[in-house]
Structure 1
């Protein structure tokens, strides 16, 4: 079992303190849900976890070791889905899946292509594989972004508002994929304004103050 943790973290954006003295811990096979009002620091915390934003204080650890000691290894554990979809409109749905999977994992070949199609199928996009992404709806674009989680197998999923733009059926499909990831030993941290079924997930509530505590 692996443990991803942060201790006494602080974050500053544009000289403004976003949070301080924040700690968390999430184990393989489980999830952590970040909630709170806009501006409370949910996205900033996710970016800090992903190594996209430096911490102003504190440290991140993986199995007790400081992730700053080997940032490349940490990046190799992370699958990141931000608030934006990062979909290339002139590529087809399948070409988008292949492009991002190759960028993230350097994968090529028949096995990689099978994973790309598997991800599209799980998110209901198999029938749109040859459709240019510019013709997709907002929900379809979001599902395309989420399909990358299955094309690139990473143990840590960091997800910023993963269900934005999704209808009820697509949300249920995402919840099933998330549950499978955790059941298979993966871990996930997700920021959300809306309820997402994550059985057994711990919750960290961030408030629009400079203080935050582990829950």
Structure 2
């Protein structure tokens, strides 16, 4: 009995850590979206924004360290809790009728794996430039335009943004439960609408950038 309580307490703590790290990552995604939308304002605006971020290396690397720690914690405990859940029932149900749930909830672990791969590729592609055909440090608008001038990376990014939208749509809801916050029916309904709207804004906003870059490349014959 004591062991069961201890295991339950440990799982609650892990879910709380996932919620806090997820909140940090969600805030980052929203800020990242706001900055990236400057792509539509032209090269000068986006490149100036990028230069501003790099103006203080200490602040930049401190923020990156926090993001990396949040990302590592989120991924580690997501996999840990998923494997715990799977090992608790090694034999599948003979007949399983799924309760009413959202697409985001049903695909949470899989969209998580998609986003894990996306983050690695994104860093290699547009941060380090190792997977970019013509990367030039500091020329962010140019790097984005050239990086999405072909169909394959554009499709990969758009697909990943769909996964991000699904992940955020359920993640915002599960954060409140993991942190022990209880909401009445009306509050829960409002939070669900907020999560859906936020997920749409993030997914559509970020996906619009590579789609626009590809469309401009195709029309200009690049």
TM-score (structure 2 length as normaliser):
0.27
Structure with the higher fraction of residues in helix conformation: 2
TM-score (structure 1 length as normaliser):
0.28
Structure with the higher fraction of residues in strand conformation: 1
Which of the pair has more CA radius of gyration?
A: 2
| More relative contact order, 1 or 2 (CA 8 Å, 6+ apart) | 1
